[in-house]
């Protein structure tokens, strides 16, 4: 799967669970209440199943899971791809 396809797959999965909401790739889906905290477990299962990566204890940081963009960066890192600093101008 190409990277833009990965991002779309992530977006589709979240949208599937937050059907009543529209959100940007950078919106914090937990803070905005689109999903509850238990959804984090489903996100873990999804990225492992969809992208063949293993989420480990050290990966459990909210910053890895709280938006489409954050998940995309996380998956890229796990796959060994360079990731742009989101805070860079």
Site of interaction with another protein (CB under 8 A): 16-17, 19, 36-42, 44-45, 48-49, 57-58, 60-62
- The total of other beta-carbon atoms located within 10 Å of residue 65's CB is 20
3-state secondary structure of 23: coil
Let me know how long the chain is. Answer: 89
Helix (H) or strand (E) holding 24: none
Compare residues 34 and 68 and give the one whose CB is closer to another protein: 34
Compare residues 41 and 84 and give the one whose CB is closer to another protein: 41
Is the Cβ–Cβ distance between 43 and 60 less than 8 Å? Answer: no
Work out how close the CB of 11 gets to another protein at its nearest, in angstroms, rounded to a whole number. Answer: 15
DSSP character at residue 63: G
């Amino acid at each position: 799967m190409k990277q833009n396809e990965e991002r779309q797959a992530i977006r589709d999965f979240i949208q599937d669970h937050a059907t009543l909401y529209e959100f940007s790739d950078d919106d914090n889906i937990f803070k905005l209440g689109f999903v509850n905290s238990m959804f984090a477990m489903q996100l873990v299962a999804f990225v492992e199943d969809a992208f063949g990566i293993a989420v480990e204890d050290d990966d459990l940081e909210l910053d890895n899971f709280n938006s489409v963009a954050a998940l995309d960066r996380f998956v890229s890192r796990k796959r060994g791809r360079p990731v742009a600093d989101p805070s860079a101008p």
